[in-house]
Structures are given as structure tokens and as C-alpha cells.
Chains A and B, each alone.
Chain A
């Protein structure tokens, strides 16, 4: 009987080999697919046991942190509530919902490191923990900006033009990230179409920029060599643009005026002419140089940012100015079908402030491990040289004149020169007095440290200079004189 016994034993060896092979299949060969399987809640539950890193303001105040609960898992707390709802976002690991910085910096916050690193950590007897994210955000100025909006729907974005650091990113109405863990609250917020509290207006708002866009038109005009600040252009009103009369504010005629005067007084008819003269290709080129027609290069979730530019009103798709659907003259004054985010307008003035060089915007200053060692520092990096330094210098002077003697006097600060531009986009039906006031600025004009864009949705007859400029003034004050 020994031969069948040997054979039978071989069969059992074979069966055990199959068992080891199948175990290898699940533990090694198909392990990644299994870990990524949507039904597999294990990585999620594991994440709940890891202390997620904190998110801090530039003054080290806590914007988000994790607190250990009795069952051993961690819960996320946002001590400043709705103030940073938008830039910081929320993290609800149990429902797998992440937004804002919580999402874009999730790898660092959740402590996702290589397997080798985690083995080393285990050997050192340390618990795996996420890294802290120190942001560039200034909590005091964020509060000033939020209060200044006073509950009106709108947005404020302030950048350091030299580095691209985002100091303020406000979107009103906001939401309390502490409350979104409740599915009922979340769906309520999500379904509020009119208030849209979950919409980050700073990066997702699609607004006509109005006359603030004239900064870009002027930049293209001077940088292309076709105009100088002293070039004279006829500023009479009305003027036929694309077959329809275009008027200046109050239908005022200015006669022959310089480009500087036209910007100072925000003369529509002048900039419409300039836009038509420059042509579609030139304006397309300059818009792209300032970052239009591409998503902002911000360390923020891609699905929470939109590209700025002309948009087809029916499909919502982007339209290049080279398209015949674009009314070039009206686009040059920030109307037509332009849909622009406040962040994009802040980037435009930041580039002008920084000698024409656009820095990549960023919300993260550095990533620090739980022991306080800096893991990564986000170094300032150039996105593009949008315009020549000489052009930027000329625009600097022109925008100062807007604040000193033009439409933007409301932003004047004691002892600090400010360069700015107002905007009052028309909204709604022709003849309605519903406007979207804007103000873009940078200061100090001779040594720019802050570039800012402010907009308020739907004002009844308000102007950029009267509604948005005072908000910008308060935020600039807070950031320049802390």
C-alpha cells in the first residue's frame, strides 16, 4: 500500500500548495486591487485610527485638528467654524467626503507614507500619525474680510504677489465644517441652490469681471507696443460696438483722452476700441498669459476650481476670443460672456504688482511632521511672465491714479499708496439696476505686498467704488498693519 500512500501524500502537498498560492494571491498579487475595492472599508477604518494632522493658519492658530474619541477613533474639529469652511474644507472619512485643503493635502494629513517608512515607524514604537499643514492663510484678515462682506454673497481673495501665498480666501455664504458630518445637514447645504453655501465662490464663482478686466486690456495694449499710457483715444459716448450702441457710465462723453485717463475714469468706449484694435489673437494670448482658459495652479482640489474666460451661455463651455461668437469690444470692458473667478482677478493684479511676473498661488506654506520637523516647504515658483516689467510699471502708475483721483478713491489708505481698479458688471436683464461690484488692487504701490480681488454678488445699484472698494480697504489695512 506504500505507493498509493506516497501518491496520496503528494496530492495533499499539492492541495496545500494551492492554499498557499491562493493566500499569496490575496495578500500579494491582488492585494492592491482588493485594497482599492470600493466595498473595502478597511483602509477607511484604519484611517479613523490614525491621528490626522492639523491645519494651521500662518499665525499657528488651529484651523482643523483631530480629537481622540472614547472608541479610539479620531474626530475632526474646526475651532473657527465657518470662517475657514471654504479654504480648509471638511474631512468626513466615514462617508469618504473630503474637500478643500483637507482633500488636496490628504496624503500629508493622513500620514500616507511608503510601506518601508511605516515599518520603521512601527519598529521605533511610534504610532502612525499624519503631518500638520501650515497654511499661508491669515486668520485675522480672513475674519476682517468675512465681516466686511457682512453676509452679502461674495468673495475676497488676497495674495502676496511676490510669492503667490494666499493670505485671504473668503466665500460667503459659508458653512460650518463641524456640522457637515451630519448627513441631513450636508444634504441640506448641498441642495441649497440659491445660497449655494458649498460653492467656493473664490475659485468656482463665475462672474462677469466688469471694468476690472480693463487692467488686462490695458496690459495687452501697452505690452504689445500698440499703445502707451499717454496714447490718446476718443472717449465719446455712445459708440457702436458690434452693431449695438455702447455707453459710458451716465452716457458721459470725454472727448480725446489718454489711456491713463480712460482707466482712471473707466471709460468703456475707449477700452472697447482698444480691444477691437488689438484683435482676437492678441487678447487671447494675454488672457492665457495671466492664467485664463486653464484651472488655477492652486494646491486645491481640481473639482473645486474652474477656468476663467468667455463661456458659451448655452453649453457653459469655454469660448476663446478667436471665436466669432465673442463680442471683442464688450469683452475688453469685462462684459460679453466673460465668466471669471475672484482668484483669477487677484492673480491678474498680483502679476501687475510683481513686475509682470505671475507667481503660482498656493495655500500651503509648509508641511510639518508630528515631531515638528519640516517635511516640505512650498517654495515660491513662477507661473508665467505675463507682461514686461516696463508694462507692469506703467500699469502700476495708471492704477495708482484710479485710487488717487478716479473711481477708486474709497480705498485710499493713510500713508500707503494703493493701486487699484473698480468694476461694476451689469447683471440680469438690460435696464435692471442689479450689478456685481468689483474691486481689484495692490498695495503698497511702490513695494507691493498684497494683491486683492473683492466682489459682491447682486447689488441693487451699487458700484465697485462704493460697495467693493471699502471692503478691500479694510482687508488691506488688516494685512498691512497687523
Chain B
């Protein structure tokens, strides 16, 4: 069976899931129309369209990535529909735009390796994107963090979502060049391997910028995501655990300083350490406490689609930002530990496919790119799910493909397109000959 046929078969459960999901929400609302079938059919049509495109454009690409993403996307769509039907319609539109961007990425970046030529442009653009929300007049502050740029009439653009891809591309490209030097030029000082300053310098600059961004955008989660991807790439590129340890120590130092000196970050840490503190509950503790209460309410099997309580009888939000930051809590509330674990396993499978792509890739840049993209994706899931389950302080990033949000959908489709491009090249039977 060819890779693409397996992909097509993989889309069947995704379509069944979206149909069943909408049916469940419709039943809960007391009106089972053929609306659920319509949603399912449209979704199936979109997926098959994308599949046909992949069949032509990337015949050898990993067959599981796209169906796995489709499962997540449809699951997210049902969840958002259940929270707010208007947002679900917008999300479906973003989904269409996302697929178009996905196609465009594959068409225009057929040879993704030419990205290497533009690595400094990409790095600079990414940093500009990150700083954008802090610029006066266009920045939008959400919960004390500067994560968005308001584009009047359209939406709040979240540049971090795109910057993460740019930075991964830059790091993969830079490390491909310097990985040998970093290892061979290293000296041992007091039993610790120290990389040569000349080549390590740019990496220190990245660390510095990340730390700076932490202050600028005031978002611990995003910086954890970027920096984690950086360390992951550094480790894979050099096989030197000591570099990672040094990196972690430096990050810990920075995080400690920020946690104790920046009030906004400090508050988050306090709430993380004691989420049920009665004094903090009415203001800064409300979100995380209610996230955990919602999960407790779900229990093992959950309340069922549409049964979670999201608003107080007075109409105030009980679960704040249920369609974005806290969507995982709503999922756990309605589908229980079982459903939540299912979602996490789906993410882990995507990460596993990404790593498989990296292992199959035949050049360092491709390997590092696949690792970087998979890592940043996995870390994003860890940052937001870890945040709402209080493993780490809660910060506002989206749950990829599931949370509501145009920027997130678009950026993650670009990420998926890049992974599939790398994968297609890696698995192409004649690639060895052609190169």
C-alpha cells in the first residue's frame, strides 16, 4: 500500500470523529439536524482535497502526519463549536486559509534547502516579529503579556507563532555549519566541555535575545518554547550534554532573576506554587484554580460533550479563555482523563513522526530542521498543557491545531508543510541517485 493510500485511509477516522463530535454537540443542544453531516462532509472534502494535492506534490511524504493533524483540527473545531458557534465558523475559515497556505508553502518551497541562504534574513525577521507586539500603537497586551499585534478589523496577529518557525530554520541552518567546529574546537575546563567562543558567540546572542524577549514580551511560556527548541537542536547537533546543562543553568539563572524581579512573572510563579491561595483567588489565581476545578469536574470519563459549565449563572466567565489558553481544561472537563490522554497521545504521535522524519533525513540541515520543528511543536504543547495542569506557571500560548486562533492555525500549517517537505525528500526512493 502506498504512503498516500495509507494517508487516505487515515483520514476516514478523522472524518468520522468530526461527524460524531458535531452530532454529540447537536444532540446536547436538543436539535439533531443534518448539520453535523454537513460539517463532516465539508471537512472530509477539504481533507481529501489536501490529500489529492499531497498525492501529486509530495508522493513520498510521511502518511500519518496529515491525518493526525486532521484529527486534532477537527477535534478542536468541535470543541470550539461547543464553546461558541461564531468562533467555530471563523475557525473553519482559518482552517481553509491555513490549508491554502499549506499548499502555497509546499509549492513555493519545494526545495526547502534554499531557506539556508536566507538564514540571517529569517532570523532578523523573526526577532522583529517578536518585538512587534511591544511597539506602541500596534501592540496588544493580553493578560499582562505582549503577544499580539492588532490588525484593525481582521484579528489580533500573534507573531510568536511564526517567529518560532523562523528561529528554528535559522538555528538548524546555523548549527549545520558550526556543529563540527563546536565539538572539535571545544576545550575541557575543570572537567566541563566549553565550546569555542568564536562559534558559540552567536548562540550566546540567541540566549541573550531570548532572555531579552522574555522581558520585552513578558512571556515565560514562549521563551521556554524557543529556548527549549534551541537546546534540543544544540544537543542533537553536537551530542554534547554539557552544552545543554550549561544552557539550562543559564536559563534557570535568567528565569530566577525574572521570577523575582518582574512583578508580572513573579505573580505567575506565586500562583503556580500555591494555586488555591484564597487571597490570590479572586484576581490572579482565578484562571488556574478554575482550570484545575474544571479538570476535577471531568474525572476519569468526563461530563460529555457540551456538559461542562463555562459560565457562572450571572453570565461571567468561570473558565476564562476557554477557546484558547484553557481549551485543554474544557476537553478534560467534557471527555475526562481518557479524552485528554487521547489528545496528548495524538500530539506525541505527531512528534514521533517528526522525529522519524529527522532520522530518515539524509542531510544535517533536514535532520536538524525536522528536529527543531518537532521539538518546538512538542514544547508548545508542553508549555500550554503543563500550564493549565500547573506543572509549570501558566502562560498564554495556543494548543496547536486545537485552540481557536488564526495565527496559530496558519503557522502550524506552515510547520506541517515543512515537515512533509523534509519527509518527502527523505523518503524519495531515487533521492540518493538524484543527489
Interface positions of A (Cβ within 8 A of B): 1-5, 7-9, 12-13, 15-16, 18-20, 22-28, 30-32, 34-35, 37-43, 45-46, 48-49, 71, 73, 94, 115, 119, 122
Known A18-B386, A19-B385; contact A26-B235, beta-carbon cutoff 8 A: no
B318-A42 in contact (CB<8A): yes
A34 touches B337 (CB 8 A): no
In the assembled complex, the Cα of A6 lies from the Cα of B377 at a distance in Å of 17
CB of B235 within 8 A of CB of A9, answer no
Q: Is the CB of B344 within 8 A of A19?
A: yes
CB pair B391–A27 under 8 Å, yes or no, is: no
Specify which of B278, B312, B313 lies most central, judged by the most chain A CB atoms within 10 Å of its CB: B313
CB atoms of A12 and B337 under 8 A apart: no
B341 within 8 A of A: yes
Residue-by-residue, is B229-271 near A (CB-CB < 8 Å gives 1, otherwise 0)? 0001001110100000000000000000000000000000000
Looking at B235, B294, B299, B389, the one whose CB has the most chain A CB atoms below 10 A away is B389
CB distance from B105 to the nearest CB of A (A): 24
Report B-chain residues with C-beta under 8 Å of the C-beta of A45: 309, 312-313, 318
Q: Report which residue of B318, B337, B367, B375 has the largest number of chain A beta carbons within 10 angstroms of its beta carbon.
A: B337
Q: Which of B313, B332, B381 contacts A27 (CB 8 A)?
A: B332
B293 touches A15 (CB 8 A): no
- Report A-chain residues with C-beta under 8 Å of the C-beta of B300: 27-28
A44 to chain B, nearest CB (A): 9
Residues of B within 8 A of A122 (CB): 304
Known contacts A9-B351, A23-B295, A35-B296: does B344 contact A16 (CB below 8 Å)?
A: yes
Determine whether the beta carbon of B239 is less than 8 Å from that of A27.
no
Which of A7, A12, A31, A94 gathers most chain B CB within 10 Å?
A12
Interface residues of B in 317-373 (CB under 8 A from A): 318, 332, 336-337, 340-341, 344-345, 347-348, 351-352, 355, 358-359, 364, 367, 371
Nearest CB on A from B369, distance (A): 12
| B285-301 vs A, Cβ < 8 Å mask (1 yes, 0 no) | 00001101111111111
Per DSSP, are chain B's interface residues mostly helix, strand or loop, or mixed? helix
Q: Once the chains bind, are A1 and B299 in contact (CB under 8 Å)? A: no
Q: Least Cβ distance of A365 to chain B in Å?
A: 33
Residues of B in contact with A (beta carbons under 8 Å apart): 232, 235-237, 239, 276, 278, 281, 289-290, 292-301, 304, 309, 312-313, 315, 318, 332, 336-337, 340-341, 344-345, 347-348, 351-352, 355, 358-359, 364, 367, 371, 375, 378, 381-382, 385-386, 389-391
A22 touches B348 (CB 8 A): no
Known contacts A13-B348, A42-B309, A73-B313; A27 and B298 CB within 8 A of each other: yes
Q: Are A4 and B332 in contact (CB under 8 A)?
A: no
Separation of A73 and B309 alpha carbons in the complex (Å): 12
A20 to chain B, nearest CB (A): 5
Collect the chain A residues with CB atoms within 8 Å of residue B375's CB. Answer: 8, 12
The reply to whether B232 and A34 contact each other, CB–CB distance below 8 Å, is no
Q: In the complex, are the beta carbons of B289 and A39 less than 8 A apart?
A: yes
Q: Is the CB of A1 within 8 A of B340?
A: no
Q: How far is the CA of A28 from the CA of B296 in the complex (A)?
A: 7
Measured CB to CB, the closest approach of chain A to B194, in angstroms, equals 19
Question: Is B313 a contact of A48 with CB atoms below 8 Å?
Answer: yes
Do A27 and B236 contact each other (CB < 8 Å), given the known contacts A39-B289, A42-B293?
no
> What residues on A are CB-neighbors of B347 within 8 Å?
16
| A22 contacts B235, C-beta separation under 8 Å | no
| B residues less than 8 Å from A28 (CB atoms) | 299-300, 337
What CA separation (Å) do A32 and B300 show in the bound complex? 12
Which residue of chain A has its CB nearest to the CB of B386?
Answer: A19
Chain B residue with Cβ nearest A71: B313
Q: Assuming the A-B contacts A1-B237, A4-B236, are A26 and B389 also in contact, with contact meaning beta carbons closer than 8 angstroms in the complex?
A: yes
For the complex, what is the distance from the CA of A439 to the CA of B312, rounded to whole Å? 51
In the complex, are the beta carbons of B348 and A12 less than 8 A apart? yes
Task: Given contact pairs A8-B232, A24-B337, enumerate 10 new A-B contacts (beta carbons under 8 Å).
Answer: A9-B355, A12-B382, A15-B386, A16-B345, A16-B348, A19-B386, A22-B391, A25-B389, A39-B281, A45-B313
CA distance A21 to B264 in the complex (A): 28
Which among A13, A18, A31, A49 has the greatest number of chain B C-beta atoms within 10 A? A31
Task: Return A461 CB to nearest CB of chain B, in Å.
Answer: 53
Please list 23 pairs of residues, one from A and one from B, whose beta carbons are closer than 8 Å in the complex, sorted by A's number.
A4-B239, A5-B236, A12-B375, A15-B382, A15-B386, A16-B345, A16-B378, A19-B382, A19-B391, A20-B344, A22-B389, A22-B390, A23-B340, A27-B299, A28-B337, A34-B293, A34-B296, A35-B293, A35-B296, A37-B293, A40-B293, A41-B312, A48-B313
Chain B residue nearest to A18 in the complex (CB): B391
A4 contacts B355, CB within 8 Å? no
